[in-house]
Structure 1
Amino acid sequence: MPKRILQGPVISDKGDKTVVVRIDRAYSHPLLKKVVRRSKRYHAHDEGNQFKTGDVVQIRECPPKSKLKRWEVISAADAAAAADGEKTSA
């Protein structure tokens, strides 16, 4: 079965080899027909302690590494680098 990959900003890097990533989602409310935004925090394994607060990263499902960690950081997201490139070229 394929592993899910999510992308979001790091909101905490205080744990050793752990980062907390906020994943935002938007969906249409079934009754009110309005767009509702929700977010969820995921604890992800960061082996090298290389990601800091504010970095946009991609995380992937993995077997449990601890009580809360069921995700691991794949890499910094390319979307953040592309956005920086557009700002400097303008």
Structure 2
Amino acid sequence: MPKRVLQGVVVSDKQDRTIVVKVERRFTHPLLKKTVRRTKNYHAHDENNSAKVGDIVLIEETRPMSKLKCWALVQPEAQG
């Protein structure tokens, strides 16, 4: 089974080797036919503490590393 890869914005980097990434998904409401935005925060492992708040990053699904972390930083994509 392939690993999922998500793109989002770093909202917190205060923890050691952990970042919090806000991922937004958009979909059309089935009844109202209006575009709806939903966001969710994911805790991701950042081995080198390279990501900073505001960076746009890619995260990849991994094995569970702690109670909340089961994602890992793939690469910083661009500065936000």
Where do residues 23-38 of structure 1 align in structure 2 (5 Å cutoff)?
23-38=23-38
Superposition RMSD in Å: 1.3
**Structure 2 alignment gaps of length 5 or more:** none
Higher relative contact order (CA 8 A, sep 6+): 2
- Structure-2 residue corresponding to 1:55: 55
Q: Which runs of 4+ in 1 moved over 2 A?
A: none
**Structure 1 alignment gaps of length 5 or more:** 85-90
Identity %: 57
- Structure-2 residue corresponding to 1:88: none
| Superposition TM-score, scaled by structure 1 size | 0.85
**Which residue type is aligned with residue 27 of structure 1?**
F
- Structure-2 residue corresponding to 1:19: 19
Compute the displacement of 1:50 (Å).
1.1
Q: How many residues align?
A: 80
| Superposition TM-score, scaled by structure 2 size | 0.95
Larger radius of gyration: 1
More helix by percentage: 1
User: C-alpha distance in 1, partners of 2:25/2:7?
Assistant: 11
